[in-house]
């Protein structure tokens, strides 16, 4: 997308936030070539053997799509370089809070920094992470925020969406449904249950291969 197109789509502040998000992505170390090659080999296996039935030359984006990681979102953190995401507590319940609008992702990170400042601590730098989600059953609240925090443990949904002009928020209830856009997307590590059945390491944000000791 050209610079003019970005300005038209996001506005000046939004385009600046998008640039910052892409810059922050450089902090992520891409999975090692070995991990990518292994994911590619596994994805070429038949579905009944745990693969995705893709061609031997399949790519990470193809694996992501086949595994259901199709929606691009952003998440802000001031926890430094991370390999996993933790649920946060917000109005939409205990979940990982993301947004399709990179400039609207840092609300909770800023709150955390405000708390640190009140405790006499220095604020931490905030990074915006480009991610992909695999959610299929979203409770769309529209622009109606609940009066009380939602109990996500009792919901028949995997995510909650809230939006109004200038704001878009997606609360992903299970962190397993989120990956870095630069993950290997190994089908053997799609979920913790899948990884356990295949005898490999449980999935993480980067989903790069981790050797068992």
Sign, CA torsion 146/152/155/158: positive
pLDDT for res 141 = 95
Answer whether residue 175 is part of any domain.
yes
Structurally, how many domains does the chain consist of? 1
pLDDT for res 160 = 96
Closest CA to 179 of 94, 71, 95, 102: 71
Whole-angstrom distance, CA of residue 185 vs CA of residue 133: 12
CA distances from 57 to 44, 54, 62, 86, 145 (A): 8, 8, 10, 34, 46
Write out pLDDT tens, residues 24-73.
554 555 446 888 999 999 999 999 999 999 999 999 999 999 999 999 99
pLDDT for res 191 = 93
> Does residue 5 carry a pLDDT above 90?
no
Better-scored residue on pLDDT, 6 or 138: 138
Q: Around Cβ 73, how many Cβ atoms within 10 Å?
A: 24
Exposure of 210 in the CB half-sphere (CA atoms within 13 A): 15
Answer whether residue 144 is part of any domain.
yes
Better-scored residue on pLDDT, 210 or 120: 120
pTM of the model: 0.76
Q: Given pLDDT bands bounded at 50, 70 and 90, which one contains residue 20?
A: low
Answer whether residue 135 is part of any domain.
yes
Strands 127-133 and 93-98: unpaired
CA distances from 148 to 119, 156, 199 (A): 27, 18, 41
Closest CA to 130 of 206, 187, 195: 206
Could you tell me the CATH number of the domain that includes residue 147? 3.90.228.10
Contact 123, 130 (CB under 8 A): no
Better-scored residue on pLDDT, 39 or 76: 39
Answer whether residue 204 is part of any domain.
no
Answer whether residue 83 is part of any domain.
yes
> Does residue 213 carry a pLDDT above 60?
no
Answer whether residue 109 is part of any domain.
yes
Percent of the chain surpassing pLDDT 70: 83
Answer whether residue 28 is part of any domain.
no
Percent of the chain surpassing pLDDT 90: 48
**For residue 141, what are the domain limits?**
69-182
Answer whether residue 23 is part of any domain.
no
């Amino acid at each position: 997308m050209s610079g003019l197109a970005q300005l038209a789509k996001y506005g000046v502040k939004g385009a600046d936030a998008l640039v910052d998000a892409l810059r922050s992505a450089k902090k992520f170390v891409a999975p090692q070539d070995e991990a990518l090659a292994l994911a590619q080999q596994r994805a070429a296996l038949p579905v009944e053997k745990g693969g995705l039935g893709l061609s031997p030359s399949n790519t990470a984006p193809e694996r992501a799509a086949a595994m259901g990681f199709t929606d691009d979102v952003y998440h802000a953190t001031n926890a430094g370089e991370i390999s996993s995401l933790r649920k946060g507590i917000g109005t939409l319940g205990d979940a990982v809070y993301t947004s399709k609008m990179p400039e609207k992702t840092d609300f909770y990170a800023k709150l955390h920094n405000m708390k640190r400042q009140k405790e006499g601590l220095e604020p931490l730098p905030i990074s915006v992470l480009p991610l992909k989600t695999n959610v299929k059953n979203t409770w769309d609240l529209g622009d109606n925020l609940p009066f009380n925090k939602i109990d996500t443990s009792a919901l028949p949904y995997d995510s909650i969406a809230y939006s109004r002009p200038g704001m878009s928020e997606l609360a992903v209830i299970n962190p397993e449904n989120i990956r870095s856009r630069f993950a290997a997307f190994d089908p053997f590590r799609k979920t913790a249950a899948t990884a356990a059945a295949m005898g490999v390491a449980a999935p993480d944000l980067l989903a790069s291969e981790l050797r068992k000791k």
